[in-house]
Amino acid sequence: MDTKIKISDLPDFDPAEYLNDEKDIEIYLSLVIEENDPSELVHALDVVARARGMSEIAKQSGMTREALFESLRLNTPCVTTIKRVYQALGVKIPLEQL
């Protein structure tokens, strides 16, 4: 017999829980950047900001936590916001790739 699994019974998956150090973050962002999908990059920045601490990244990027959260969740940040968050993360991926 085939056992059916309900989607609601599946565990939640949050990639932020698996970004344990700077190397993990750099690899994750590099892979996302290679895909050349702007909406996926915004999602990845949200994941990394949550892994690092949204409040801390907001502070380092000169934004309020609410403004950062809203920008990344609505998938509509301007290029300036993306660059500010990227720089606040301090990862070692050349910005030219963005």
Of 48 and 96, the structure prediction assigns the larger pLDDT to 48
Give this prediction's pTM.
0.76
* pLDDT over threshold 60, residue 34: yes
Q: Residue 75 pLDDT more than 90?
A: no
pLDDT band at 24 (very low <50, low <70, confident <90, very high): very high
- C-alpha atoms less than 13 angstroms from C-alpha of 67 in its C-beta half-sphere: 12
More confident residue, 94 or 21: 21
**What structural domains does the chain harbor?**
35-92 (1.10.260.40)
pLDDT of 72: 84
